[in-house]
Structure 1
Amino acid sequence: LNKMIEDLGEVVYVPGGPAGGLVPSGLRTAMPHALPSAKRMEKGETLILSCGANVGGYRAECERTCFIGDVSDEQAKVLEVMATAQQMAIEAMRPGNKCSDIDAIALDYIRKAGYGQYLLHRTGHGKGLEEHEAPWIEVGDHTVLRPGMVLSSEPGIYIEGISGFRHSDTIIVTDDEPLVVTQFPKQLDQLIIKV
């Protein structure tokens, strides 16, 4: 892969490196960055659509957890907990708030809902010329947010042997409300792929 990227970089320059997507389904969604496989999608499974883009050399990302055909009550419950935590983090992405506090808001909500043992990573990270960069929306980063910062909000719940659940959005910190630049649906009924 690195050789392919290097060779293509000589033909088509992409500032910040290439962007693309991951599309794990079923049990593979319980791995935060699952690589492609020959596994076929099946009815009743989750599917995480993970897409990235470069805009003028700057990075953006958007991820949605979808369902193939049927949605179980447990899948719907975990999705709701994850989506609520993600929205709480977005709403907290305002000037003056600390990255570590935003992480605590989202992940503590997931813990209180009973899914703390299924947390595998921080709430988010900075977006810029690199896919992942400071500041880190995590417990150890006490960076105070300022207008103009660009962040991801992507707390995930990963239940090994069952499924993973993660939405990700790209957010710009403004003087006022956080500006969510990725505007794809998050309501359960819009995340079902009919089969």
Structure 2
Amino acid sequence: MTGAGSRALLLDPPPVEPSPATRLPLAWHQARAGELRAAAAERGARAVLLTDPWNIVHFTGLWAATTERPLYALIEPDGAPFWFYPRLDRDLVQSWWYGDGAEYFDYPHVDGQHPNEGTAARGPAVDLWEWALRLCAARGHGAGDLLIDRPRETPFGSIGDVCLRSRMLKTPEELALARRAYAYFDDVHVFCRDTLLDGFHDGMTDFELRSAMIDMATRRIVPDLELDGGPHRGVGVSIDLGWVRAGRVTGYPHPNQFRYAEITRGGTLQASGVIRVGGYGGECYRPFMIAPRTAHMERLWTVARDSCLLQQDELRAGVSCGEVAEKIHRFQIDAGVRDFVYHRPAHGQGPEGHQPPWLALGDDTVLEPGMCLSVEPGLYDPRAGFSVNFSDMFVVQDSGPALQLSRVPWTTEWCWLTL
């Protein structure tokens, strides 16, 4: 459905070329591991034990669905990682960047019991954390020589700050992959708006629209993934449009009910979701105000939109997150909408979703080029049964205001619809 001509309203493309690939190459992750080794050496250590799933993805490139089963990667002075892994991850681990490893059967694990090798006796569960540390020590990495990526009650030092900083400051390759995801998202938002204007019918539900958007996005993205059934292709892909919702439920920031409501004239539709490819991308929301609108709807929409544009202008290198949050909240208060403010203006975005820094009054993190943040100075009126919440990805630049990664407009022409 293209009669509405939404594509012609898209903003000019940002100066970030979409990645030709759908995941980062192994060499990129190996370079990050090299940086981690150098940081560990500066702290007098020779090895790093990665235990956080997102650090494992970042520094090794291995995507694995972690559960209660521990999966660790030991980064030593050179060579491929030494892995600690459950048997069900064996084929993924050993077919990626693998030097050597230690396998346990499952969680909880009993020492020496591997049903796949013909042993299956009950017994006391092994402490897999202590097991991993003993094996690290056997490889010459004890206290004073080994750093761990997240705080634990151990004699080992932490290098979690270095890991998090590396994940927060996006490289050009990461931004290119994020832009690829947002190019898909541009198409999804065009489809959404055109469907509303060309295909709306009485009784149409947010579920119907959401399902059509998911189908369109899947058909658009999946052919590019070159899926062959094997591992390590199509990783980090998320097509999460479950937040597309209409009517009263939009009045709640995080509604806890199933989204199924009619899209009505005089109502609202929140076109919200997350698209990631290779782990990169993020949120892109636009709130539709459907005629006949009330003055209250138009007022909240305008203040929320102007808050987003203020955020883009204020997100500058060298300024603290708290300073930007204060200016936005002061803008909201001065505009007379304080009763409808429910949360901070934004959060950092990465492969895990929310990540630091937090655009909040209590975060003094100084903004640096490459940091990527959401755009959510939303306003909510559950009594009136609607909200206005935009989002996108703003990237802090070397100088000047932040860069928007999507091409979706912020205008009344885009969002104020007559069906």
Q: Which structure 1 residue ranges, 5 or more long, are not aligned?
A: none
In the alignment of these two chains, the number of paired residues is 187
1:149 to 360, 368, 371: 371
Matches of residues 99-178 of structure 1 in structure 2 within 5 Å?
99-162=321-384, 163-177=386-400, 178=402
The whole-number CA distance in structure 1 between the counterparts of 2:339 and 2:418 is 31
Give the letter for the 2:267 counterpart.
E
Give the letter for the 1:187 counterpart.
T
Give the letter for the 1:142 counterpart.
D
Instruction: Indicate the SS of the match to 2:296.
Output: helix
Percent of pairs with identical residues: 28
Give the letter for the 2:294 counterpart.
S
2:246 to 19, 25, 41: 25
Deviations 1:84-122 (A, max 9, x none): 111111111110011111111112111111111211111
1:49 and 2:266 correspond: no
2:309 to 78, 84, 87: 87
Rate the CA distance shift 1:14–1:69 in 2: closer, same or farther, 3 A.
Answer: farther
Please report the TM-score for the alignment, with normalisation by the length of structure 1: 0.87
The whole-number CA distance in structure 2 between the counterparts of 1:61 and 1:38 is 21
Give the letter for the 1:26 counterpart.
G
2:415 to 183, 191, 194: 191
CA contact (8 A) 2:247 2:268 kept: yes
What's the CA shift for 1:72?
Answer: 2.0
The whole-number CA distance in structure 2 between the counterparts of 1:45 and 1:62 is 20
CA contact (8 A) 2:247 2:269 kept: yes
What's the CA shift for 1:137?
Answer: 0.4
Q: Which residue of 1 aligns with 2:127?
A: none
CA contact (8 A) 1:169 1:181 kept: yes
What's the CA shift for 1:169?
Answer: 1.6
What's the CA shift for 1:19?
Answer: 3.6
Instruction: Indicate the SS of the match to 1:60.
Output: strand
Give the letter for the 1:138 counterpart.
A
Q: Which residue of 2 aligns with 1:65?
A: 287
CA contact (8 A) 2:324 2:359 kept: yes
CA contact (8 A) 2:348 2:374 kept: yes
Task: Give the structure with the higher percent strand.
Answer: 1
What's the CA shift for 1:74?
Answer: 1.8
Instruction: Indicate the SS of the match to 1:86.
Output: helix
RMSD of aligned residue pairs (Cα, Å)? 2.1
The whole-number CA distance in structure 2 between the counterparts of 1:105 and 1:19 is 33
Give the letter for the 1:84 counterpart.
D
Task: Give the structure with the higher percent helix.
Answer: 2
CA contact (8 A) 2:234 2:278 kept: no
The whole-number CA distance in structure 1 between the counterparts of 2:309 and 2:262 is 31
CA contact (8 A) 2:235 2:277 kept: no
The whole-number CA distance in structure 1 between the counterparts of 2:320 and 2:283 is 22
